[in-house]
Amino acid sequence: MNPSPAKTYHLSCTVDPYRDGWLLARFLSERFRYHPPHLWDERLAAGVVRVNGTVAAGDTPVRKGDTVQYEIVHAEPEVDFRYDVLHEDADVLAVGKSGNLPVHAGGKFIENTLIARLRDDFGTTDLTLAHRLDRETSGVVLLARNRAAARGLQMQFEERGVEKQYVAVVRGILEDTVVDAPIARREPAAPPYFRVVDSDRGRASVTAFRHLAHGESRAPDSDDLPLSLVEARPESGRTNQIRVHAAHLGHPILGDKIYGIPEALAREFVDAGPTEAIDRAAGAPRHLLHCLRLRLIHPATGAPLEVSAPLPEDLRSAASWSPPLGDRFGPA
């Protein structure tokens, strides 16, 4: 895919505690690694970077809570804007998104997001995300259509009242198991902000995996790599939880370019994007994780609500599955 046409954006961010005291030039080049340092030097010299409203030089120290405002000319990467409406009423919207679509702005993505497209398609800014999926995770996304619904949905996610069912393709033969392993962000914090299992610093995290099928990879040059199709049910909702726990078991998700390939390649992917070597190491164009089903209580009516998104073709065709999948996960 080709990037979108370059546009001028006026953006801002807040200095986090980790970068308190950094010089502005270092803050910008480390915080926004998808823009090379020399571009930040040019922007600083042009006077288009401000700290708390005042034009600042690159050797200006920034402090926790400072607002850094900047102007950039940026071409966003292309995304797959496809989505299916799975449920719609006056309070709740549920869609099934593609496996290459950020749900909200972040990093290289500003406007090429699910929430921006839905607000445009539905002609309202009242839509708010009730939870998040990674850009490469396909499947069910819930949104609220008003403030009351947003509060109700948020409360259910925070109190673990939403039953979440994912399906993933992992390397090797993964049998039924439950992973109870705390997850933390690895320190020092730096892109790609790896999450790791850490019994000392981590927050409680539990994921139940259930073996659904097995087979051999259909990818070229895969050397008949054994694969498993598994159900994953996260009891908690930590960032990258399923991906981290699968990798912790020694069965990373196929296509995972952070937790499923050597660390040096993962850092290269974050800095420069996908390459032939990275794609070959990952084994698939995207990590093969899909949010199949969410069960919850409707925030307005109090009735049970179940929303499902059929298993996409890339998971279905990753291997010759045994037993065959048939229509177990929606229409093929």
- Alpha carbon dihedral 136, 142, 146, 151, in 10-degree steps, equals -100
pLDDT for 268-281, tens place per residue? 888 778 888 898 99
Do 32 and 87 have their domain in common?
Answer: no
pLDDT for 19-72, tens place per residue? 999 999 999 988 887 777 888 999 999 999 999 999 999 999 999 999 999 988
DSSP single-letter state for residue 78: P
pLDDT at 191: 59
Do 154 and 272 have their domain in common?
Answer: yes
Is 88 domain-assigned? yes
Range of the domain at 32: 7-74
Do 153 and 224 have their domain in common?
Answer: yes
3-state secondary structure of 158: helix
Do 144 and 110 have their domain in common?
Answer: yes
Do 182 and 233 have their domain in common?
Answer: yes
Contact between 168 and 230 (Cβ < 8 Å): yes
Q: How many CA atoms lie within 13 A of 96 on its CB side?
A: 19
Is 321 domain-assigned? no
Q: How many residues does the chain have?
A: 332
pLDDT at 73: 81
Per-residue pLDDT of the chain (332 residues; tens, 9 = 90+): 556 778 888 889 999 999 999 999 999 988 887 777 888 999 999 999 999 999 999 999 999 999 999 988 878 889 999 999 999 999 999 999 999 999 998 878 888 999 999 999 999 999 999 999 999 999 999 999 999 999 999 999 999 999 999 999 999 999 999 999 999 988 766 656 789 999 999 999 999 999 999 999 987 776 778 999 999 999 988 999 999 999 999 999 999 999 999 988 998 888 778 888 898 999 999 999 999 999 999 999 999 999 999 999 999 999 999 999 988 887 76
Q: Which two tokens stand for residue 234?
A: 């996260």
Cα–Cα distance list, 159 to 29, 68, 296, 297, 299 (Å): 38, 34, 11, 12, 14
Contact between 215 and 319 (Cβ < 8 Å): yes
Q: What is the distance between the alpha carbons of residues 108 and 259, in angstroms, rounded to a whole number?
A: 20
Is 332 domain-assigned? no
Q: Which amino acid is at 193?
A: Y
Is 60 domain-assigned? yes
CATH code of the domain containing 36 = 3.10.290.10
> Does the active-site annotation cover 134?
yes
- pTM here is 0.85
CATH code of the domain containing 186 = 3.30.2350.10
Q: What is the distance between the alpha carbons of residues 151 and 269, in angstroms, rounded to a whole number?
A: 36
With residues binned 3-state (H G I as helix, E B as strand, rest as coil), the percentages for the chain, rounded to 5, are 20, 30, 45
Contact between 164 and 234 (Cβ < 8 Å): yes
Tally of domains within the chain? 2
Q: Residue 123 — φ and ψ, nearest 5°?
A: 65, 35
- Choosing from 74, 103, 120, the residue where a domain stops is 74
Name the catalytic one among 66, 120, 126, 134: 134
Q: What is the distance between the alpha carbons of residues 307 and 2, in angstroms, rounded to a whole number?
A: 33
DSSP 264-289: HHHHHHHHH---HHHHHHHSSSS--E
Contact between 69 and 50 (Cβ < 8 Å): yes
